[in-house]
Structure 1
Amino acid sequence: MNKYKYIIFDFNGTLCDSNKAVEYCLLKTLENFNIHNLKYDIKNLLSEDYNQQEIFNKLAPNTNINNLMNSYKAFYNSGKGNNLSKIYPGLYEILDILKSGDFKIILKSQKNINEMTDSLSFFRLHNYIDLCIAENEGTHDKKHSDIFNDIIKKTYSDINTENILMVGDTEPDIQFAKNNSIDSCWATYGYGNVDKCLSFQPTYFIESLIFLLEILDI
């Protein structure tokens, strides 16, 4: 019998292929500020799953971060962000099966809360999500244990580490599970660094979303 009742999903790289959109908006923002000859490769930064502020701190340390972030949000929210993204094949069918099986679906993302809300609406996913944890002022990054203790456990009184599965594609997702003694499922098709993800010993591996159903025995 399947022991999991709660599935925590990462968004970018796990449910949605958004790297093209993020790269485009980052580059347009840097061009807007005449920033070239980057010290860091954007693809590598995205594989580390840094949030927007951390990425801009690395790409443009001597530029006003708030101005950069506002410019990025303007590009992303102009429609380019969602239009250049796509959900992975079979997602709606898989979420339908999970909901019919009474699983609670939790979304945990580094995306800004407003961007996350817009993306859920654009891709018609909001009705599937029972709890959305996105980046906002005062929240911790998504590998931090306080997300589990201060948000998830307080939302669900019957939750325990044995009935949760974390599904994500990058090292912070697997590290979050490890930090909280939660089983993890590494989405190898996403953006994560292989060596770093493997170093946290994920419980399962999937090469596409459909294989999650085998793990859940449904």
Structure 2
Amino acid sequence: MKPYSLILFDYDGTLCDSRQAILATFPPTFAHYGVPVPPLAELEAVVSKGLVMGEAFQVLNPALSIDEVNEWVTTYRAIYDQDAYRLVECYPGAKDLMEHLVEQGKHVVVISNKGIRSIETSLDYLGLTPYVSLILGDGSPLLRGMPKKPSPESYTKVIQPHFDLHSGNSTLMIGDTSMDLQYANNCAIDSCWATYGFGDPEACRQLLPTYEISSLLQLKEVIP
């Protein structure tokens, strides 16, 4: 174990259980455009890959143009932000863990491909915002023009300078999908796979995470 000082959390499937909120938002989005909703198994498959929502809609409805994809994402997020965020729950022990990390002098960052407004609304609603030093998501001004995870740019160009880090030795990324673990590998930082989340186990194991946890509370055993 290393004395990590900076802890990066993915949001969906890692810090918060948003599966029902995500799945509940797909049907009204498809209905808005008069398009049949794909089978539940297909919806769950795109969730398990940790795709950006635009990529998810390209998989679920390949006939969409780029402009149409962007429009669908806007509609999806409007529906999600209006009602579905109330379906999100913290994973057990999330608040206690965050409080513990801050008391230990750690900096906590939430880094996600989810829309920034949705993340901020949810963290406020769940009472987690006071423990987070930096929140980064799709639409964050700090990330404007940058590729999303698993590109390392959000880490090397935003997170490292923000915390005045000269190497990744003191940083740990916690995530549930292969997207998160690949992000950690690309950033040359240690990773912790949250096996309780949405990710595909085979894809995640292939990326050789530094640690595995089956619950958030187990993270206390990883971070001294």
TM-score, length basis structure 2: 0.91
Q: Which residue of 1 aligns with 2:120?
A: 117
Q: Equivalents in 1 of 2:43, 2:112: separation in Å?
A: 19
Which residue is equivalent to 2:43?
42
Kindly indicate whether residue 191 of structure 2 is the aligned counterpart of residue 184 of structure 1: yes
Aligned residue in 2 for 1:166:
173
Q: How many residues align?
A: 216
Deviates more, 1:29-38 or 1:102-111: 29-38
**Residue 208 of structure 2: which of 201, 212, 215 is its match?**
201
d(CA) in 1 for partners of 2:199 and 2:112?
14
1:212–1:159 Cα change, 3 Å: farther
Which residue of structure 2 aligns with residue 12 of structure 1? 12
**1:68 matched to 2:72:** yes
Query: Structure 2: which amino acid aligns with 1:33?
Result: Y
One-letter amino acid of the counterpart of residue 117, structure 2: N
Query: How far apart, CA to CA, are the structure 2 residues paired with 1:34 and 1:158?
Result: 49
CA shift at 1:182, angstroms?
0.8
* Preserved contact between residue 35 and residue 60 of structure 1 (Cα < 8 Å): no
2:130 is aligned to 127
* Structure-2 separation of matches of 1:163 and 1:37: 44
* 2:83 alignment partner, SS class: helix
> What is the CA-CA distance between 1:155 and the residue it aligns to?
0.7
Q: What is residue 26 of structure 1 aligned with on the other side?
A: 26
Residues 84-103 of structure 1 aligned to structure 2 (within 5 Å): 84-103=87-106
2:111 corresponds to 1:104: no
Measure how far apart 1:146 and its partner are: 0.9
**Identity rate, percent:** 31
The answer as to whether partners of 1:9 and 1:108 remain within 8 angstroms in 2 is yes
SS in 2 for 1:148: helix
Aligned AA for 1:206? Answer: I
- Tell me the TM-score normalised to structure 1 length: 0.93
CA distance in 1 between partners of 2:30 and 2:166 (Å): 43
Q: 2:30 corresponds to which letter in structure 1?
A: L
